[in-house]
Chains A and B, each alone.
Chain A
Amino acid sequence: GAVVSQHPSWVICKSGTSVKIECRSLDFQATTMFWYRQFPKKSLMLMATSNEGSKATYEQGVEKDKFLINHASLTLSTLTVTSAHPEDSSFYICSAPGQGRSYGYTFGSGTRLTVV
């Protein structure tokens, strides 16, 4: 089945530094990647939608300069949290519409970001 590989699974960084999260579609081409943020015991909040070869579309209230998304190839999308602050600490998850059961959406395993 379709697999989206997300790395790293967890990262701790110092305040003010930048962190890059990668999502790769391993056995299919992902022309679109959705990026979510999830707070503890909460639902997934869509941050942005990236499309290969074009600019990402950000949801209302999401700072595009803070959360840089690049979708340079059909198998790789990245989210860079720039100048991270403790309030950016969260669980970030990517998802691609693809070839899973019922043609569902395949999710990455998530990245736990902690900014200290």
Chain B
Amino acid sequence: QQQVKQSPQSLIVQKGGISIINCAYENTAFDYFPWYQQFPGKGPALLIAIRPDVSEKKEGRFTISFNKSAKQFSLHIMDSQPGDSATYFCAASKGSGGSNYKLTFGKGTLLTVNP
């Protein structure tokens, strides 16, 4: 049973456009929702994360929107650049950091930003 559903599987955006990736979760015990960016041959790198006590978090061009009642969260990349072309994973866990709870990952979205 997939606990975190991610869509779309792939996304093509023009430079300067907005990239939107969506995730839905099932386990209401989740309370930490990070997004990771992964380039080919590299490990995932944390982009931005949110907890359910806020509905939005913004860091630079990256914004997480969180809808607790719908159990959905999304990543918005503003002014998308070719350098943003990578695979993006949403994830969820019951805690974070030192809590040692394991992450549940979405299946990933391959983003291509055309110049």
Q: Point out residues on A near B: beta carbons under 8 Å.
A: 6, 31-32, 34, 41-44, 46, 49, 91, 93, 95, 97-110, 112
Measured CB to CB, the closest approach of chain B to A93, in angstroms, equals 5
CB-based nearest A residue for B104:
A46
Measured CB to CB, the closest approach of chain A to B47, in angstroms, equals 9
Q: Within residues 3 to 50 of chain B, which ones have a CB less than 8 A from any CB in chain A?
A: 32, 34, 36, 41-46, 49
How many cross-chain pairs have Cβ atoms below 8 Å apart between A and B?
A: 70
Task: Say if the beta carbon of B96 comes within 8 Å of chain A.
Answer: yes
Task: Say if the beta carbon of B111 comes within 8 Å of chain A.
Answer: no
B42 touches A110 (CB 8 A): yes
A107 touches B44 (CB 8 A): yes
A44 touches B89 (CB 8 A): yes
Partner pick for B99 among A41, A44, A97, CB 8 A cutoff: A97
A101 touches B98 (CB 8 A): no
Alpha-carbon gap, A101 to B47, bound state (A): 9
A105 touches B97 (CB 8 A): yes
Alpha-carbon gap, A106 to B108, bound state (A): 18
B46 touches A101 (CB 8 A): yes
Alpha-carbon gap, A41 to B106, bound state (A): 12
Closest 9 CB pairs of A and B: A103-B97, A107-B43, A102-B49, A110-B43, A32-B100, A104-B46, A109-B43, A43-B107, A43-B105
